[in-house]
Amino acid sequence: MEKGFRLPNGTRIRLVEGDITRIPADAIANAANAALAGGAGVDGAIHRAGGPDILRELDEIRPRVGRLPAGQAVATGAGRLPARFVFHAVGPVYRDGRHGEAEALASCYRVCLEMAEERGCRSISFPAISTGVYGYPAEEAAPIATAEVRLFLESRAGSLREVIFVQFGEAAYRLYERLLGESGLQEAQD
């Protein structure tokens, strides 16, 4: 499944159900862990599909940054992925929603979008950061993700022309589809 939405300034948000490692984009956001050591879920899939070069780059970055705090990200090349960059964003572990989780999650999206602009990217894809093993309820995380992306695209006139939300599974896809549809964005016909 796939659907596109166009913002008034001509930028686009695309929603895809599928495997983020197979969707071409200039940059891919990775739901990384604080140790930047590879892991399960999206992180594991990105490392498997991208190959060992990504982890080698992280091995060089890790001594400089140590454990990366939630809401921050680092960039590597994309190895064998259909992208130029991977932005390894550390999402928050959900406790109860009253320990800064929302701001840390919003920061993940903002930081990755800023990194994309700094590198002249025209497109970036995002998974549903923190909604897997980190336990962030999708119904709470999705509005944060869509609002941050929309705010960024509406307030900047840079290189970024498309943001792709890649959802794993129909339920997640339908949640994002509903949120984007209710936001008043025009559905793209192309």
Question: If DSSP codes are grouped into helix, strand and coil, which group holds residue 56?
Answer: helix
| SS percent in the chain: helix, strand, coil, step 5 | 40, 20, 40
Residues with a catalytic annotation lie at 43
The three-point CA angle 188-153-110 to 5° equals 130
DSSP class of 169: S
**Encoded amino acid at 61, one letter:** I
> Which is it for strands 27-32 and 123-126: parallel, antiparallel or unpaired?
parallel
